[in-house]
Amino acid sequence: MTATLTDFHPLAESVQPVFDTVLARSPHEPEFQQAVHEVLGTIAPVLEKHPEYVEAGILDRVVEPERQIMFRVPWVDDAGRLQVNRGYRIQFSSVLGPYKGGLRFHPSVNLSIIKFLGFEQIFKNALTGQGIGGAKGGSDFDPHGRSEAEVMRFCQSFMSELYRHLGEHTDVPAGDIGVGGREIGYLFGAYRKITNRHESGMFTGKGTGWGGAEVRTEATGYGAVFFAQEMLAVRGDSFEGKRVGISGSGNVAIYAIQKATQLGATAVTASDSSGYVVDDAGIDLELLRQIKEVERGRIVEYANRRASARFVEGGSVWDVPVDIAVPSATQNELSLADAESLIGNGVLAVSEGANMPCVPDAVAAFQRAGVLFAPGKAANAGGVATSALEMSQNASRQRWTFGDSENKLREIMSDIHRAAFDAAEKYDVGGDYVAGANIAAFQRVAAAMLAQGVI
């Protein structure tokens, strides 16, 4: 599923040397190179207007993480065997606030993937306007098939090292692939025990009974749908009566399905790494949640229990005709061929629920075809934005209702859409949300770096 890119198209003269340094310094990090190339490919016009950013070496500095932490995570499995995983935390930028970003537990995790995610997070978090820096972490640990006790022991070992680098004013992790409410509970518990501090604001995505914010669980999926709603509204369109294709069946996918359905659309697909299901009657959310959140089962189970659904093993979920696509599984899951089949089937809008799910050629194809395209750093920013709302509530010992929190999320997504839309207009690339999001975010980061000096 993960494509490896070997060549990148040349960039503007003002940014190519920065990319050359990234290639030389990080030669074996294709996902990181891909994420940097995407940002650099859109911000040369900003540098033309702001030569002071070039003089201050803003780009040279922003592509180098402030701190990279890699550590051994030893633990003992249920059979008494010693296991060793590798842990990561890439603290990329704290210029706008404490480091903030999720932890991913998945066997594919490596330095390149965590660095691409940390780099994206700087700009995503800038777009939220909430004073949070960028970071990402995780491990190549695979929670699938592990017992509760094994997951808990792993989380405790992971935190026995990472705790010293965290704190509500230093670095505030949250979930990502393979890290949900269960793992956050064990990680937070370990931090509390080791530090002897119940420091609510040092982790987000906590249980709502012990400091977690309402809507944080739903926020990323809801936000990706709200962003698509904003893009459609510009063209006088909406979700009403549309067929929506969603990949993945985890945290982001489930709540994207829920919100799209609430807005009058029919969500017809879900997937996992074994294949996908198509349900023309609309995904039955309670059944999907039962299988995925409660039983932690495979997606085929959904088709086994639902007459209107069929399971397709392997294959591409993007072969299914839909009006709106919300890729919500993982990076580089949507290829050029997938984009072409979506375009051939008349797709109107694509909103990236996952981080970098569409390969660069797919993004270019959508844009050439006039499909509304929202990059993940804008479209999925609702998750981290609601994390920042959780931090605010923790700091002020408040608890907001579900309704108030959802309204706030909707407002934030509308603001992000507006910032990306306006930046694209201002720089004569109207309708290009990739360029608009990068420009709007980069300007916020660059202005703060300039003000805070060479550090």
Considering only residues 313-372, where is the footprint of ligand 2IT by CB under 6 A? 355
Nearer to ligand 2IT, 261 or 386 (CB): 386
The DSSP element (H or E) to which 437 belongs, if any, is: helix 433-452
The binder of ligand 2IT chosen from 309, 384, 434, 439 (CB under 6 A): 384
176 binds ligand NDP (CB under 6 A): yes
Considering only residues 219-238, where is the footprint of ligand NDP by CB under 6 A? 220
26 binds ligand NDP (CB under 6 A): no
87 binds ligand 2IT (CB under 6 A): no
Q: Please name which of 357, 356, 438, 386 lies closest in space to residue 128, comparing C-alpha atoms.
A: 386
What is the total count of residues that contact ligand 2IT (CB under 6 A)?
A: 11
User: What is the DSSP track for 250-286?
Assistant: SHHHHHHHHHHHHTT-EE-EEEETTEEEEETT---HH
249 binds ligand 2IT (CB under 6 A): no
The Cα–Cα gap between 37 and 435 comes to 12
Is 369 exposed, middle or buried, given 0-12, 13-18 or 19+ CB atoms closer than 10 A?
middle
378 binds ligand 2IT (CB under 6 A): no
353 binds ligand NDP (CB under 6 A): yes
Q: Which stretch binds ligand 2IT (CB under 6 A): 37-45, 73-81, 85-93, 379-387?
A: 379-387
- Give the nearest distance from C-beta 353 to ligand 2IT in angstroms: 10
CB atoms within 10 A of CB 407: 13
> Active site includes 136?
yes
Q: What is the largest CA-CA distance in the chain?
A: 63
Nearer to ligand NDP, 41 or 173 (CB): 173
Of the residues 100, 136, 242, 377, only one is catalytic, namely 136
| Ordered strands of the 134-139 beta sheet | 67-76, 82-93, 134-139, 99-105, 171-174
User: What is the DSSP track for 189-215?
Assistant: HHHHHHHT---GGG-SS--GGGTPPTT
The entry of ligand NDP, ligand 2IT, none that residue 101 binds, CB within 5 to 8 Å by partner kind: ligand 2IT
Considering only residues 115-154, where is the footprint of ligand 2IT by CB under 6 A? 124
- Give the nearest distance from C-beta 104 to ligand 2IT in angstroms: 8
The DSSP element (H or E) to which 86 belongs, if any, is: strand 82-93
Phi, psi angles (nearest 5°) of residue 168: -65, -25
| Beta carbons of 277 and 311 less than 8 angstroms apart | yes
- Give the nearest distance from C-beta 406 to ligand 2IT in angstroms: 16
The contact mask relative to ligand 2IT for 425-454 (x = CB under 6 A, - = no) is: ------------------------------
Q: Active-site positions?
A: 136
